[in-house]
Structure 1
Amino acid sequence: MVVGGDAAGMSAASQARRMKGPGELEIVAFERGHFASFSACGIPYWVGGDVPGRDALIARTPEEHRARDIDLRMRTEVTEIDVDGGRVRSRDLESGAEEWTPYDDLVIATGARPLRPDLPGIDAPGVHGVQTLDDGQALLDTLAATPGRRAVVVGAGYIGVEMAEAMINRGYEVTVVNRGAEPMATLDPDMGRLVHRAMEGMGITMVNDAEVTELLTGDDGRVRAVVTKDAEYPADVVVLGMGVVPETALAKAAGLPLGGHGGLLTDRAMRVRGHENVWAGGDCVEVLDLVSGSERHIPLGTHANKHGQVIGANVGGGYATFPGVVGTAVSKVCELEIARTGLREKDAHRAGLRFEAVTIESTSRAGYYPDAAPMTVKMLAERRTGRLLGVQIVGREGAGKRVDVAAVALTAGMTVEQMTSLDLGYAPPFSPVWDPVLVAARKAVAAVRSRQG
């Protein structure tokens, strides 16, 4: 039985079906929304016009799942998990009918829920989150019906900056209100400052260190402004991009173990700790950070699909594990690419690590080659061992995916000195002779050696 019909849940169901035929394993899945197996990560690009339509974001329809003998029950919400009794209670959201359904193995894939603070005006027409395809369609409907062209995005994380780009692409005047000192709190502040400057250069108004206190409405009841302690920002539409937290209310009520970030705790097989036949994956779980050794909540579709594959293999009679993550993520706002992997400075401090941090400026191609674009690379290395701890990259075209080299090095436990010998591809259209990541590694080696000496 699967609770949640998106990435982790339906990946688990599909993999289990590959392992076991219809006569060997019955699979029932519950999804409370209108869509299953869709790409939430693609919603900003659909809203912004880069993706032609909603259907392009649907990986597999409910009918396609049912054709593979997966009993996917749409618009059906699980309201209670009875772990001792091995059953769940569900409610049909169309008819209101409720029933208990027994299970042998339970997969919890309830995802995450967007942060939506209890503020005056937060539920007014014209205020939108962007978690589901329904959310994306509702926002597009509002944009089509709203004559004004002023958009305020609340929050400057991944969703916030991506939605700022979407609104720019739609021809809106965009203000981003951010409670942090700089946008992209997943970066160190010095790298976030580069994002800040670039966004302002694109015509986006960045307001940092600003906590939203209320949303004002007009005589028609629609949102008309976002208010902070110090100012008021006119708005014809407001997009919330304040981050997410694990959706684990059901799991908590059932007495299942949660971590410090509110996510379910599992073993490497994605089995919920202390429960032989309960599994969990996706944005509702915490995962092992391979660099710091701590548990983290990292809501990404890449992890969710891998969790589902592992769970499905195990439920289907095979054996698979999910070893952990290094915290790799990449995003963009207009022409600016933003990437990170591993630890930030505050993460390293929290883990009790002594480290060196270096920053270099380089280009995406040989400096003499046309359209060589600037990029900044920041690298952290452990002071005593030289072990790579983290990398952050901000730059133009060709910058973001360079973080994958660092992600592999982190996973392999490489030192920055070992990285300098990596045999990376070179030609002037693709890279300088010394790739920017390797230039940063060389500088990190020098910093570590100076401390050791």
Structure 2
Amino acid sequence: MSMSRVSPRAERLVVIGGDAAGMSAASQARRLRGPDELEIVAFERGHFTSYSACGIPYWVGGDVTERDQLIARTPGEHRERAIDLRMRTEVTEIDIAGQRVRARDLDRGAESWTSYDKLVIATGARPVRPEMPGMDAPGVHGVQTLDDGQALLDSLARTRGRRAVVVGAGYIGVEMAEALINRGYGVTVLNRGKEPMSTLDPDMGRLVHRAMEGLGITMVNDAEVTKVLTGDDGRVRAVVTEDAEYPADVVVLGIGVRPETSLARAAGLPLGHHHGLLTDLAMRVRGHENIWAGGDCVEVLDLVSGQERHIALGTHANKHGQVIGTNAGGGYATFPGVVGTAVSKVCDLEIARTGLREKDAHRVGLRFEAVTIESTSRAGYYPGASPMTVKMLAERRTGRLLGVQIVGREGAAKRVDIAAVALTAGLTVEQMTALDLGYAPPFSPVWDPVLVAARKAAAKVRPA
């Protein structure tokens, strides 16, 4: 008697989160395995997928004219690749033992369970919103998702006044301050630190402070916000600090973000010091063979300090997704870690950093020397040469490069990539002085500013 062969059920990969890490993972897994082998179900609670959150300040400021320019791949395009993408659907529970997730349709309210063989958690991060009176009032906006950006633009369109207060002076705060200036708003930035851009040392942040004031932004440092006041209509009307009150028709929160790991915490998955998920080199959640995590909800290894960090950047999220998708699709890939490179701008002032700040080096017990040099972006005699400040940290005795910060005009920011490569390779500042960098008067002085700093650092660590 002949028996018919029953085809084995395709494995199911469930992805929570439809932006960079989640959909990169889904797309990469699909490239490796077809629908007959791997069913892919993805949940996204918002209205958009695969978009550039980093581009939101430039959309708000008008440099990017259309929202859709920030979208790399639409839900329809993902579905064409045999990915069952369920929009406006929020996962509310992960059942580890039962290998299933509970999801709720945000428009209809219906809830259902979906089983998985493999799970990807890419829940991103959420803007820090301090618990104080008025923080949830209409007119107070975090800016993390495309939905957030649309809500802010809609709010600006309804707002009659032209006074904006930005709370926080990190990357998002500084970029949003410039965006609002471009929109014709009077902007006050309230910063609890000594200088803006806490990712820089204060002496370098001071250069950013001057540039912001040059744009007409009112910069208030050492300002601890205590509450937000609302008017008779319930909308925001002012932000109050310990020392003063600042009128506001709109408030943007630029305090930073935290990993969105409430689901993971409730499921008992391992979280680190910064409340991000902890993974191994393959981006598997530690202790769980069939669960991966990536993007803004995870902590990553800092290759310079050797400690875990939380860094919310699209570059990392996309790389995480590629690694996760390769592994979930049956291949092999790893994500070794980061050196902490980031760039930004205020008008034509470019800001860059990589590696450790002075306080980072102190915290992990490293002894170091710090040098700062002034140079130019091009040969001094070539038209358009502009000043550039480079700060460099090197470890005592070994001379190992520990960190670089650069503030200047055109050509400043991407120079930090030289230092990022040097940090990844573990170069000393002495070795850096011999790097064969590109030179011509329109692009650099004979000694590139990064190499000038390396020479000065090498001379300083040598006697030590």
Q: Which runs of 5+ in 1 are unaligned?
A: none
Letter paired with 1:370: P
The equivalent residue for 1:156 is 169
Once the 2 structures are TM-superposed, how far is the Cα of residue 420 of structure 1 from its aligned partner? 0.5
Q: Deviations along 1:200-259, whole A, 9 cap, x unmatched?
A: 122111001111111112222221111101001111111111100111111011111011
Match status 1:382 vs 2:395: yes
The equivalent residue for 1:411 is 424
Letter paired with 2:368: F
Letter paired with 1:331: S
- CA–CA distance in structure 2, aligned partners of residues 95 and 86 of structure 1: 25
TM-score normalised by length of structure 2:
0.96
Counterparts in 2 of 1:394-409, with a 5 A limit?
394-409=407-422
- CA–CA distance in structure 2, aligned partners of residues 142 and 88 of structure 1: 35
- CA–CA distance in structure 1, aligned partners of residues 95 and 16 of structure 2: 13
The equivalent residue for 1:169 is 182
Match status 1:15 vs 2:36: no
Once the 2 structures are TM-superposed, how far is the Cα of residue 94 of structure 1 from its aligned partner? 1.1
Letter paired with 2:248: A
- CA–CA distance in structure 2, aligned partners of residues 218 and 371 of structure 1: 49
Which of 314, 320, 339 aligns to 2:327? It is: 314
The equivalent residue for 2:444 is 431
- CA–CA distance in structure 2, aligned partners of residues 212 and 450 of structure 1: 46
The equivalent residue for 2:275 is 262
The equivalent residue for 2:46 is 33
SS at 1:331 equivalent? strand
The equivalent residue for 1:85 is 98
Match status 1:291 vs 2:304: yes
Match status 1:235 vs 2:239: no
Match status 1:222 vs 2:218: no
Once the 2 structures are TM-superposed, how far is the Cα of residue 133 of structure 1 from its aligned partner? 1.4
Match status 1:46 vs 2:56: no
**After the TM superposition, which of the residue ranges 192-201 and 264-273 deviates more from structure 2?**
192-201
**After the TM superposition, which of the residue ranges 37-46 and 139-148 deviates more from structure 2?**
139-148
State the Cα RMSD in Å: 0.8
The equivalent residue for 2:149 is 136
Q: Which runs of 5+ in 2 are unaligned?
A: 1-13
- CA–CA distance in structure 1, aligned partners of residues 300 and 144 of structure 2: 21
Once the 2 structures are TM-superposed, how far is the Cα of residue 197 of structure 1 from its aligned partner? 1.4
- CA–CA distance in structure 2, aligned partners of residues 150 and 82 of structure 1: 47
Once the 2 structures are TM-superposed, how far is the Cα of residue 84 of structure 1 from its aligned partner? 1.1
The equivalent residue for 1:206 is 219
SS at 1:325 equivalent? coil
Which of 103, 111, 118 aligns to 2:124? It is: 111
Q: Deviations along 1:17-62, whole A, 9 cap, x unmatched?
A: 0000111110000011111111110000000000011000011000
SS at 1:85 equivalent? coil
- CA–CA distance in structure 1, aligned partners of residues 287 and 121 of structure 2: 15
Once the 2 structures are TM-superposed, how far is the Cα of residue 144 of structure 1 from its aligned partner? 2.0
Once the 2 structures are TM-superposed, how far is the Cα of residue 147 of structure 1 from its aligned partner? 2.4
Percent of aligned pairs with the same residue? 86
Query: Number of paired residues?
Result: 451
Counterparts in 2 of 1:310-389, with a 5 A limit?
310-389=323-402
Match status 1:64 vs 2:77: yes
- CA–CA distance in structure 1, aligned partners of residues 115 and 232 of structure 2: 51
- CA–CA distance in structure 2, aligned partners of residues 124 and 353 of structure 1: 45
SS at 2:296 equivalent? coil
